[in-house]
Structure 1
Amino acid sequence: MISSNDFRPGVSIELDGAVWRVVEFLHVKPGKGSAFVRTKLKNVQTGNVIERTFRAGETVPQATLEKRTMQHTYKDGEDYVFMDMESYEEARLTPAQVGDRAKYLKEGMEVNIVKWGEQVLEVELPNSVVLEVVQTDPGVKGDTATGGSKPAIVETGAQVMVPLFISVGERIRIDTRSDTYLGRE
């Protein structure tokens, strides 16, 4: 159990049979009446966001999440196959379970799989990945005055905006949280 006074962004709680992650919270102490905590919660499974108010000091069950380091070994048809780095067990995840993170998944990449009981909630990628550019337009000389950018497709199929000087075959570092170019490798 966790008190509503201990809510912080990133804390996971169980509410109405689902796992919710605290996105924002505000402890309000009005002049008249008792204090309360106004929160914005995100459902980890569906992505829905709700606002909920708790009395100050109210306790709610904290979600017991298990985070395992697994390696993406290969893609079998539609499913993604991951191997547990400690027990060497395989786990198959559907494209729905992997979500939009699949655009940066590369064979051999280590990721964190977050589980609630036996249910996989999310796949956590590293904050940045290094991928090779496989397609991009050549930079035109003289177009650099504004510091422009152009689209590039990397080896996993993801499209990222890169500076004009990047060419095919270069390895670039990409921020997986914001889908932005960080630099050359």
Structure 2
Amino acid sequence: MVINVGELKKGITIELDGQPYQVIDYSSQKMQARAPTVKLKLKELKTGRSIEKAYNGFAVKFNLAAVETKPAQFIYREDKDYFFMDSQT
């Protein structure tokens, strides 16, 4: 599904360069007689790194990322690995 820049909000997950990103922060700045500038702070869901991007204009569109969430219970951590239990099984 494609959304335009006006439909963005915190918490939405979008796809950029084939990777899923969650919108952490969103700000729009309107200038007189110019197209607005949208600044996004994004968190890549696979690696956890944060990036900032800026877009100009009304015609900017984003693809929503296909992300599934499930309730789970944290069990333990071993080095960099985290172990969860699926509470539905």
- What TM bracket, shorter-length normalisation? 0.7 to 0.9
TM-score (norm 1): 0.39
* CA gap 1:58/1:4 in 2 versus in 1, 3 angstroms: same
* Structure 1 contact 5–57 (Cα < 8 Å) conserved: no
Give the AA of the match of 1:66: E
Query: Which has the bigger relative contact order, CA under 8 A and spacing at least 6?
Result: 2
TM-score (norm 2): 0.74
CA separation in 1, counterparts of 2:20 and 2:82?
24
Tell me which residue corresponds to 1:148.
none
Residue 10 in 1 paired to residue 15 in 2? no
Residue 58 in 1 paired to residue 60 in 2? yes
* Structure 2 contact 72–84 (Cα < 8 Å) conserved: no
Tell me which residue corresponds to 2:83.
80
**Residue aligned with 1:67, SS:** coil
Residues paired across the two proteins, number:
84
**Residue aligned with 1:34, SS:** coil
Tell me which residue corresponds to 1:34.
35
Deviating beyond 6 angstroms after TM superposition, the runs of 4 or more aligned structure 1 residues are none
Larger Rg: 1
* CA gap 1:49/1:59 in 2 versus in 1, 3 angstroms: same
Give the AA of the match of 1:80: F
Unpaired stretches in structure 1, ≥5 consecutive residues: 89-185
Calculate the aligned-residue CA RMSD, in Å.
Answer: 2.4
Tell me which residue corresponds to 1:177.
none
Q: CA deviation at 1:53?
A: 1.6
* CA gap 1:79/1:44 in 2 versus in 1, 3 angstroms: closer
